[in-house]
């Protein structure tokens, strides 16, 4: 009995020590800023958007570099409406996306698989008519070359079928009438979350970002809040 208690005690101490180091790293590394590339042109407007937990990257639906609607089809959404200017995309655990509409619905099996990188992932894509800059949405102007890198980063995060097309996930777990899900590459874990993915997207396209983060707060701390300017951003 004494041996069992000792083992249990060591196990608990190890877990507490790991969590302490983990959250210290989360706090510290997210505050280290990787500066954006200097003197880049402002050719393309993108956004970062958060729901308070999860960061999405928002891109123009189409320009001469990329027409996202050719792969993320309007017909994959419930509305099937094609009158949109922006597309928001976020990477994450497939179980969370499709089986957890609210935190109260979270299953232990889904959380366990997500934490330890045992499940598959998905890209959640949502169409918007306009973006409003505020505390949850930041505008970023980037060059064409930087946008090309971002396009490559996002497309490389998506699984493709034999014809090279994104794989739409047929589901009724949509969050709205203008969103759809697609099979993604990689595994979600304690060390690689939806926000880690978004942060890496900013880094690869030469924008300010964290050295490493699992939370949205680290990313948004790098960008000025322009909400007081009261600007409503929409393509005319």
Averaged over 91-115, what is the pLDDT?
84
d(CA 175, CA 200): 25
d(CA 98, CA 8): 36
Tell whether 1 is covered by a domain.
Answer: no
Is this structure's pTM higher than 0.85?
Answer: yes
Residue 232: helix, strand or coil by DSSP? strand
Question: Has residue 121 been placed in a domain?
Answer: yes
User: Which class for 233: exposed (0-12), middle (13-18), buried (19 or more C-beta within 10 A)?
Assistant: middle
pLDDT at 236 over 50: no
Question: Looking at the domain assignment, is residue 187 inside a domain?
Answer: yes
Evaluate if residue 230 carries a pLDDT over 70: no
| C-alpha to C-alpha distance for 91 and 121, rounded to whole angstroms | 7
**Which one has a higher pLDDT value, 21 or 147?**
147
Q: What is the pLDDT of residue 93?
A: 95
Report the C-alpha gap between 172 and 174 in whole angstroms: 6
- Please check the confidence at residue 234 and state whether its pLDDT lies above 70: no
Which of 19-28, 53-62, 147-156 shows the lowest per-residue confidence on average (mean pLDDT)?
19-28
pLDDT (mean) for 85-97:
96
3-class DSSP state for residue 6? helix
Instruction: Tell me the C-alpha distance between 204 and 223, whole Å.
Output: 17
Within-domain flag for 158: yes
- Is 183 in a helix, a strand, or coil? strand
- By the 10 Å C-beta count (0-12 exposed, 13-18 middle, 19+ buried), 182 is classed as buried
Residue 225 confidence (pLDDT): 65
| Whole-number pLDDT of residue 10 | 67
Structural domain contains residue 2 = no
Q: For 30-67, what is each residue's pLDDT tens digit?
A: 999 999 999 889 999 999 999 999 999 999 999 999 99
Q: Identify whether 203 is part of a domain.
A: yes
Confidence of residue 90 (pLDDT cuts 50, 70, 90): very high
Angle, CA 32 vertex, CA 21 and CA 203 arms, to 5° = 110
Instruction: Please check whether residue 134 lies inside any domain of the structure.
Output: yes
Q: Angle at CA 45, nearest 5°, toward 39 and 51?
A: 120
Task: Tell me which residue range forms the domain holding 55.
Answer: 31-233
In the 8-state DSSP scheme, what is residue 206? T
CA gap 185, 80 in Å, rounded:
26
Question: How many domains does the chain fold into?
Answer: 1
Residue 87 lies in a domain: yes
Under DSSP, the state recorded for 69 is: G
Assigned token pair, 218: 């680290």
Q: What are phi and psi of 175, to 5 degrees?
A: -90, -20
């Amino acid at each position: 009995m004494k041996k069992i208690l000792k083992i249990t005690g060591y196990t608990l101490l190890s877990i507490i020590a790991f969590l302490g180091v983990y959250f210290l790293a989360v706090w510290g590394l997210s505050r280290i800023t990787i500066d954006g590339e200097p003197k880049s042109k402002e050719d393309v407007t993108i956004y970062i958007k958060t729901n308070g937990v999860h960061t999405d990257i928002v891109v123009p639906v189409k320009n001469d570099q990329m027409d996202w609607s050719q792969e993320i089809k309007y017909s994959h959404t419930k509305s099937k409406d094609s009158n949109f200017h922006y597309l928001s995309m976020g990477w994450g655990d497939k179980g969370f996306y499709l089986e957890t509409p609210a935190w109260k619905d979270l299953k232990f099996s889904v959380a366990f698989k997500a934490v330890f990188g045992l499940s598959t992932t998905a890209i959640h894509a949502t169409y918007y008519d306009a973006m409003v800059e505020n505390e949850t949405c930041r505008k970023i102007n980037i060059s064409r070359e930087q946008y090309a890198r971002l396009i490559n980063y996002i497309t490389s995060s998506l699984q493709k079928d034999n014809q090279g097309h994104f794989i739409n996930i047929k589901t009724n777990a949509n969050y709205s009438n203008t969103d759809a899900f697609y099979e993604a590459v990689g595994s979600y874990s304690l060390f690689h979350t939806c926000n880690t993915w978004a942060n890496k997207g900013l880094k690869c396209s030469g924008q300010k970002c964290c050295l490493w983060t699992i939370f949205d707060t680290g990313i948004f701390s790098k960008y000025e809040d322009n909400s007081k300017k009261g600007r409503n951003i929409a393509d005319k």
